[in-house]
Amino acid sequence: MSENQLYTRVSEFLSLEADLLDHKAYDEWLALWEKSGLYIVPVEHDVTDFANHLNVAYDDDEMRQLRIARLSNGEAVSTVGAENTVRTLSRIRILEASDELVTVRCAYCLYENNKNGVRAFPANVEFILKPTEDSFLIQQKVARVMKSNEHLTTVSYLF
Amino acid sequence: MTKTTSIPVKSITSAADMVMEDRVHKSLYSDPEIFEEELDKVFNHTWVWLAHESEIPDSGSYKTAKIGRQPVIVVRDRKGNIHVLQNRCRHRGATVCEKKHGKTKAFTCPYHGWGYGLDGSLRALPKPEEYENILDKAEFGLNSLRFETYQGMIFATLDDSIESLDSFLGGAKKWMDLFMKQSGGYPVQVLGDHRFRFPGNWKIQLENTTDAYHFPIVHKSFISSIDDQTAEVFDFLDGDGFVEDLGNGHSVMVMIPDLVDLEANLDDPIPERFQPLADELAKEGKSEAEIKRLVRAVGGSGFNLNLFPNVSCSMAFFRNLVPISVDETEIHHVAIGGKGAPAAFNQKRMRLHEHFQGPMGFGTPDDGEAWERVQHGSKAGTDGWIMVNRGMSRLSTSEDGNVKGAVCSETGMRAAYQQYKKMMAAEEKE
Ligand code: FES
Ligand SMILES: [Fe+2]
């Protein structure tokens, strides 16, 4: 595959991922994941040994399923008001690519509409993707959200 | 008995008067003048929690914190002694450090370069000639504040005349001793913290720490996310739990009596959810006794100890509140584990913390939403009372001779508000 082709496919995949979250297509979103994959929102931005640090979120397969259930089942009062989100992404850069793994970083901004107005959460997001025949599976997604290392407000969705 | 009908607020002239035995007035959440008065009368004249000793392990380790709104630095000097320093350069007043925590050899003011030692003393300054005969360096160190510690928890005060920390904590000390048993036989170690802000008054969070009543309602989605056995443990409203007024505004809410003493009942069966941890520790060759101790401790204590005004030892973490303004509060949920404990133990503790606490936990965001609603609701009408009378007619006396109510009584809130009232009623202080 040429560099251009890879870039196009990766970009398409990142757009798909963000689109599924914005449109609450959670089952499809869960299907994008490798079972052993990890979804992480670290507290400190320079951390790489996530397991041995406290994170804002550290979701393995089981926790991802539970989190999706929490976001969708209407039991959590904080998720009821979180009506819609818009995720934009840009500045996509492939850092490393082999037949087994593709590491890609992008600028990511989540806008949330809640009763206090529209809030923006800019983040550097890094994906490790596993190429499949015609797409990718997510091996790891790390969202380094601005202010996560200072103080956030509470968050009722996934970055 | 006081009636629960409205009491006209016109008859009330001070914040102290807005605290009755069974209710408090909603202006306490929203009046900016009262907030300023609280910073002075409460935060400037009591023991305020700043850090745990494990957060500043080495010489040069420091953490920045606040007493009310005032920035301070908690630091360990070269000899290993702790200092609490006002974070304000003695030249023209810039803060000398803005990082949350770190390690340094000295504090150098970024404005004109005055350099302070780890004990706060002024060591050097650029171009000293112009200060010839007019500045004695010995008099221009960073201001050092009075502090005392108990069980590794560092508290400071701006008031040199108040009672000792030991006497202030009083009946709470027994519970702090019990709380510190959750590191599985290793020294308690801070593992990191979650920080978030919510648009509401600090006392809304203060109340919540001894509010068992909300748990099955607000935390329904958390309960749905845990296994049945654990859900049963968390179903404590009908159990034998209780709330005890410990004096000086402190209180303890025991939700799970079986988990009060984590060094007792070591032979209890291992809960399902901790079996994988037990298996992992066994694979690492840990002895059966150690595995039992670690597994018993890993989920934390069965109680919340609320220490007036800004910290609690809350099941498995320290909850620290920092008032930002009358309608904004910053909360730190400080995760703890064992220093030198097996990695699997500390990892499990962090994963449990992430599951409930912090900005993306399965618990905290729902608490935050409820608190925000309280703040919003406080704008309705002029004559609104916040009721804290739950359980008042069914009080008893505890083993230690304290007022005691049911687990979902509002005994802890009343304790905190009575201390608040006492402090707010004090004459204007400097
Ligand atoms: S303000 Fe600190 S050196 Fe001038
Ligand atoms: Fe809660």
Residue B1, pLDDT score = 44
Residue B424, pLDDT score = 97
Tell me B136's DSSP state.
-
Decide if A77 and B330 are in contact by the 8 Å CB cutoff.
Answer: no
Asked if residues B262 and B295 have their Cβ atoms less than 8 Å apart, the reply is no
Number of helices (H) and strands (E), helices first, in chain A?
Answer: 4, 6
- Confirm or reject CATH 1.10.3720.10 for domain A3-145, answering yes or no: no
- The verdict on the CB of residue B100 being under 6 Å from ligand 1 is no
Q: Residues 84 to 103 of B: which have CB under 8 A from any A CB? A: 100
Residue B331, pLDDT score = 96
B302 exposed, middle or buried (CB, 10 Å; 0-12, 13-18, 19+)?
Answer: buried
CA distances from B355 to A54, A93, A143, B18, B255 (A): 11, 32, 17, 38, 19
Specify the residue with its C-alpha closest to ligand 1, atom 4: B112
> What is the percent of chain A where pLDDT is above 70?
98
**Alpha carbon B312 to chain centroid, angstroms:** 4
Contacts of B323 (CB under 8 A, 6+ apart): B35, B38, B39, B43, B68, B69, B201, B202, B329
At residue B390, the 3 state secondary structure works out as coil
Decide if A149 and B343 are in contact by the 8 Å CB cutoff.
Answer: no
Residue B12, pLDDT score = 74
User: In the structure encoding, which two tokens stand for residue B243, read together?
Assistant: 């709330």
> What is the percent of chain B where pLDDT is above 90?
94
Reply yes or no on whether the pLDDT at B7 is more than 80. Answer: no
Asked if residues B361 and A70 have their Cβ atoms less than 8 Å apart, the reply is no
Average pLDDT, chain A: 94
- The verdict on the CB of residue B140 being under 6 Å from ligand 1 is no
Residue A115, pLDDT score = 79
Tell how far the Cα of B219 is from the centroid of ligand 2, in angstroms: 7
Number of helices (H) and strands (E), helices first, in chain B?
Answer: 13, 21
The percent of chain B in helix, strand and coil, each rounded to the nearest 5, is: 35, 25, 40
User: Where are chain B's structural domains?
Assistant: 48-150, 167-422
Tokens 């009672």 found at: B163
Tell me which chain A residues have a C-beta less than 8 angstroms from the C-beta of B199: 116
Decide if B224 and A69 are in contact by the 8 Å CB cutoff.
Answer: yes
**Identity of the residue numbered A54:** L
Tell me B25's DSSP state.
E
Residue B8, pLDDT score = 60
Tell how far the Cα of B140 is from the centroid of ligand 2, in angstroms: 46
Rg of the Cα atoms in chain B: 23
CA distances from B250 to A71, B246, B265, B331, B421 (A): 36, 5, 27, 18, 14
pLDDT tens, B210-267?
Answer: 999 999 999 999 999 999 999 999 999 999 999 999 999 999 999 999 999 999 999 9
pLDDT tens, B399-430?
Answer: 999 999 999 999 999 999 999 999 999 976 54
Tell how far the Cα of B333 is from the centroid of ligand 2, in angstroms: 12
pLDDT tens, B357-387?
Answer: 989 999 999 999 999 999 999 999 877 999 9
User: What residues form DSSP beta bridges with B330?
Assistant: B197, B322
Q: Which ligand is nearest to the CA of B124?
A: 1
Average pLDDT, chain B: 95
Counting ligand 1 atoms within 8 A of each CB, the residue from B86, B87, B88, B89 with the most, and so the one to mutate, is B89
Reply yes or no on whether the pLDDT at B176 is more than 80. Answer: yes
**Residue spans of alpha helices (H) in B91-190:** 165-169, 173-179
Reply yes or no on whether the pLDDT at B129 is more than 50. Answer: yes
User: In the structure encoding, which two tokens stand for residue A27, read together?
Assistant: 């089952």
- Residue, of A154 and A130, whose pLDDT is higher: A130
pLDDT tens, B281-321?
Answer: 999 999 999 999 999 999 999 999 999 999 999 999 999 99
Residue A78, pLDDT score = 87
Binned at pLDDT 50, 70 and 90, residue A151 comes out as: confident
Tell how far the Cα of B275 is from the centroid of ligand 2, in angstroms: 27
Residue A128, pLDDT score = 98
Reply yes or no on whether the pLDDT at B352 is more than 80. Answer: yes
The verdict on whether omega for the bond into residue B309 sits within 30 degrees of 0, i.e. cis, is yes
Reply yes or no on whether the pLDDT at A13 is more than 70. Answer: yes
CA distances from A145 to A44, A57, A110 (A): 9, 11, 10
Specify the residue with its C-alpha closest to ligand 1, atom 1: B92
Residue A82, pLDDT score = 63
Residue A32, pLDDT score = 98
pLDDT tens, B80-115?
Answer: 999 999 999 999 999 999 999 999 999 999 999 999
User: In the structure encoding, which two tokens stand for residue B327, read together?
Assistant: 């309608």
User: Where are chain A's structural domains?
Assistant: 3-145
Reply yes or no on whether the pLDDT at B11 is more than 70. Answer: no
Min Cα distance A155 → chain B (Å) is 5
Contacts of B216 (CB under 8 A, 6+ apart): B223, B235, B237
At residue B182, the 3 state secondary structure works out as helix
- DSSP result, A91-118: EEEEEEE-SS-EEEEEEEEEEEEETTEE
Tell me which chain A residues have a C-beta less than 8 angstroms from the C-beta of B350: 53-55, 58
- The verdict on the CB of residue B112 being under 6 Å from ligand 1 is yes
Q: Residues 3 to 62 of A: which have CB under 8 A from any B CB? A: 41, 43, 51-58
- Residue, of A84 and B284, whose pLDDT is higher: B284
- The verdict on the CB of residue B131 being under 6 Å from ligand 1 is no
At residue B352, the 3 state secondary structure works out as helix
- Confirm or reject CATH 3.40.630.40 for domain B167-422, answering yes or no: no
Residue B2, pLDDT score = 46
Binned at pLDDT 50, 70 and 90, residue A157 comes out as: confident
> Nearest-CA neighbor of A153 among A38, A40, A56, A45?
A56
Please state the rounded mean pLDDT for residues B176-190.
98
Tell me B231's DSSP state.
H
Tell me which chain B residues have a C-beta less than 8 angstroms from the C-beta of A151: 195-197, 330
- The verdict on the CB of residue B94 being under 6 Å from ligand 1 is yes
User: In the structure encoding, which two tokens stand for residue A95, read together?
Assistant: 């850092």
Reply yes or no on whether the pLDDT at B148 is more than 80. Answer: yes
Residue A152, pLDDT score = 81
Q: How many CA atoms lie within 13 Å of B181's alpha carbon, on the beta-carbon side?
A: 19
User: In the structure encoding, which two tokens stand for residue B29, read together?
Assistant: 């959440």
Between helix B288-298 and helix B275-283 the angle, nearest 10°, is 150
Contacts of B124 (CB under 8 A, 6+ apart): B114, B115
The answer to whether residue A117 neighbours chain B at the CB level (below 8 Å) is no
Tell me which chain B residues have a C-beta less than 8 angstroms from the C-beta of A54: 191-194, 335, 350, 353-354
Domain with residues B48-150, CATH architecture? 3-layer Sandwich (2.102)
